[in-house]
């Protein structure tokens, strides 16, 4: 765990350099997380809120991202994703923008976020699918339903080179 924390802080200390200008063109950096723990007490509820543990995890994400300067924060239009994004958005003074999980990394989204640092909150299936779509390869599988701790960081350099990193933050 200690090594993971050292790696994690090293990545975030380096993150500002990802967005430094290079010939007036910036690197695009995406941070992807799955929503925090949702209320599973009513199996018929298709749009549950976060549990108390989920609320605490959402607050923890805002601390994890404390030193990241986001240009935008996106969420699907579900209570659990919006509630996960909200603490970070509030700390950053940003509004949560909605995206359609059926239109992952559309041309419009790519253009709107080019050169920016962006947080995207999704689901166990849409988060890795979004990352895969950006990378142009099926690299990441769906997230296990009990896992709300993955962080995917994807960068696109001004030359179009793409890379990713996956961390687990518990």
> pLDDT at position 145, please?
95
Whether the pLDDT of residue 7 is over 80: the answer is no
Position with higher pLDDT, 8 vs 66: 66
Look up the domain containing 41 and give its range: 2-168
**Between residues 117 and 20, which one has the greater pLDDT?**
117
pLDDT of residue 20: 44
Residues 132, 143: Cα–Cα separation, whole Å:
13
pLDDT of residue 8 exceeding 60, the answer is no
Closest by Cα among 34, 61, 8, 31 to 143: 34
- Check which CATH number belongs to the domain holding 18 and give it: 3.40.50.1240
CB of 5 closer than 8 Å to CB of 131 = no
**% helix / strand / coil in the chain, to the nearest 5?**
35, 25, 40
Residue range 35-80, pLDDT digits in tens: 999 999 999 999 999 999 999 999 999 999 999 999 999 999 999 9
Domain count, the chain: 1
* For the chain, percent of residues with pLDDT exceeding 90: 85
Give the DSSP per-residue string, 89-116.
Answer: HHHHT-PEEE--TTSTT-HHHHHHHTT-
pLDDT band for 163, please (50, 70, 90 cuts). Answer: very high
What is the pLDDT at residue 14? 47
pTM (2 d.p.)? 0.87
Q: Residue 83 — pLDDT band, cuts 50, 70, 90?
A: very high
């Amino acid at each position: 765990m200690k090594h993971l924390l050292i790696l994690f802080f090293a990545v975030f200390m380096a993150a500002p350099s990802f967005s430094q200008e290079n010939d007036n063109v910036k690197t695009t950096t995406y941070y992807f997380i799955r929503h925090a723990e949702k209320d599973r007490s009513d199996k018929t509820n298709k749009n549950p809120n976060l549990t108390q543990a989920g609320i605490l995890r959402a607050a923890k994400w805002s601390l994890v991202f404390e030193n990241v300067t986001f240009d935008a924060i996106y969420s699907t239009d579900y209570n659990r994703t919006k509630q996960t994004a909200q603490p970070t958005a509030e700390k950053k003074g940003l509004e949560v923008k909605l995206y359609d999980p059926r239109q992952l990394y559309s041309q419009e989204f790519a253009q709107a976020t080019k050169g920016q640092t962006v947080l995207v909150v999704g689901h166990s299936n849409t988060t890795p699918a979004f990352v895969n779509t950006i990378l142009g390869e099926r690299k990441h599988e769906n997230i296990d339903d009990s896992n709300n701790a993955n962080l995917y960081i994807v960068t696109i350099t001004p030359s179009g080179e793409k890379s990713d990193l996956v961390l687990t933050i518990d």
